[in-house]
Structure 1
Amino acid sequence: MSKTAAAIDAAKAQGRSAFIGYLPAGYPDKDTSIAAAIALVENGADVLEIGIPYSDPVMDGPVIQQATTAVLQRGFRIDEVFEIVEAVTDATGAAVLVMTYYNIIDRMGADEFARRLAAAGGAGAITPDLIPDEADDWIAATEKYGLDRVFLSAPTSTPQRVARIAELSRGFVYGVSLMGVTGTRDAVSDVAESVVKAAKGAGAERVCVGLGVSTRAHVEEIGAYADGVIVGTALVAALRDGGAAAVGRLAAELSGRP
């Protein structure tokens, strides 16, 4: 079984949905990003997403865009991602996924990227702009190195596409709760549950929901029907405003830790 799936199943065995936290690699600097990721795990995160800064994001809202732009402006290099993944994995043993637009993987080469990610102890990758129909190289590389591959299923995904996503995802299916970019919102989209049901109906074993999740109430609401709940923007804002300690405090609140 995949490392990510094992973490999600362990949470389910405790009678709860998994809490998945996102942070950008290298923000605001490499050491702080590692400390923040460790604080996430120590305060209840079951799975980590480490986002690779990208100059032309299509899914990231303003908070994450501002963070990743700052990282790029200071001279970020892709090697940092693998160094961060290795440091966090060594310190926590958690399942650590990278989240990246596929151009970054393609430029390095799918096999080389997968090899380096596996060598760093990473669990796999989420590729928001990659559809299964165009993922042959990535699928082959992840199979070779035993990595998870997470595809996204959206409210607009056709039944045929959802079936392919469910078949080819490893770890979980990322259920997009709304059409748009990342960001905190007052309420969870009412289509989120239907996205989960569609993926489950197509054979997905685990479906985790993200986009717009920012409060403990959101986590509880989504956790009633999803296997995991993904929080990003709220954690990045906490890191921006209060450093790793603030990330730890918010993670404890979101995960329901006393």
Structure 2
Amino acid sequence: MKTLTKHLKTKQQNGETIFVPYIMAGAQGLDQLESEISLLSDAGASAIELGIPFSDPVADGPVIQAAGLQALQKDVSLEKIIAQLKKIKTTTPLILMTYFNPIFYFGLEKFIQELQETNVKGVIIPDLPFEHQGLLTPLLKYSDVALIPLVALTTPKERIVELVEAGEGFIYAVAVNGVTGIGREYQTSLDEHLAYIQSISDKPVLAGFGISTKEHVERFRQNCAGVIVGSKIVQLLSEGKTKEIELFVKSVI
């Protein structure tokens, strides 16, 4: 069992709320990445998701798109992020959220090899279809990096079973139809959807997209193991409100 799966399953079995904050790597400058990771780790994050800036981020809402553009304007790249992560010491598992193009450009085999020198324990690739995961899975087989699946609201049940069985780390349940962002309306059927995924999964199910309040976390916690929070954290970081981030994380775990 890979480190990320074991780490999060232990938290789930202990009845803890799994909380994974998302930040855009390099939006405030790569020299700030270590302090941002430390802030979230010290506040109690279960794992930390690091976004890789990309010019065509189809799953990202306006807040995260703006942060990605900010990082690109600072000449931040996947190569530079990995180089920085090799220098950062943290006990909190890191997860890269990247589109496939930057990995392909970097080199698939090189990407997995170089992650071994970091504390990256998982990757999320929203534009890599399940049928094409074979491009990466042979390289991941003997690594400690988990390929985390995304399950949409519209995913058919038979497809959910396939994704859950093949996935590692955790199951990322997308809570809305559309892109990330604060202030989303959630369908009433979402609770049943999350409960179904968790009922067939031996790995934690985490809800993500639009989650920004303690009430959201408490709602989703009734039916799955925890949540991923992105836009709210990214927005507060861009405003320099580190204390508010710390207080928010501690209030929901």
**TM-score, L = length of structure 1:** 0.90
Give the 3-state SS of the residue equivalent to 1:135 in structure 2: helix
Give the 3-state SS of the residue equivalent to 2:20 in structure 1: strand
Q: Does 1:183 align with 2:177?
A: no
User: Which residue does 1:9 correspond to in 2?
Assistant: 9
Please give the root-mean-square deviation of Cα atoms over the aligned residues, in Å.
1.9
In structure 2, the CA distance between the partners of 1:107 and 1:65, relative to structure 1 (3 Å rule), is same
Structure with the bigger percentage of helix: 1
Distance 1:127 1:204 in 2: 21
Stretch moving more, 62-71 or 181-190: 181-190
In structure 2, the CA distance between the partners of 1:194 and 1:84, relative to structure 1 (3 Å rule), is farther
Instruction: Give the count of matched residue pairs.
Output: 253
In structure 1, runs of 5+ residues without a counterpart are none
User: Which residue does 2:96 correspond to in 1?
Assistant: 98
User: Which residue does 1:165 correspond to in 2?
Assistant: 163
Q: Does 1:27 align with 2:47?
A: no
1:139 to 132, 137, 140: 137
Instruction: Give % identity.
Output: 28
Distance 2:167 2:32 in 1: 31
* 2:98 partner amino acid: T
The structural deviation recorded for 1:187 is 5.0
* 2:135 partner amino acid: D
The structural deviation recorded for 1:246 is 4.0
User: Which residue does 2:82 correspond to in 1?
Assistant: 82
Per-residue CA deviation, residues 154-174 of structure 1 (Å, 9 max, x unaligned), is 111122321221121111111
User: Which residue does 1:241 correspond to in 2?
Assistant: 239
Distance 2:181 2:87 in 1: 28
Per-residue CA deviation, residues 190-226 of structure 1 (Å, 9 max, x unaligned), is 3432332343354453211101100111111111111
The structural deviation recorded for 1:114 is 1.1
Distance 1:194 1:118 in 2: 38
In structure 2, runs of 5+ residues without a counterpart are none
Distance 2:241 2:215 in 1: 24
Per-residue CA deviation, residues 90-135 of structure 1 (Å, 9 max, x unaligned), is 1x31111100111222222322111111221210201111122111
Give the 3-state SS of the residue equivalent to 2:116 in structure 1: helix
User: Which residue does 2:43 correspond to in 1?
Assistant: 43
8 Å Cα contact 1:17-1:226 kept in structure 2: no
* 1:147 partner amino acid: V
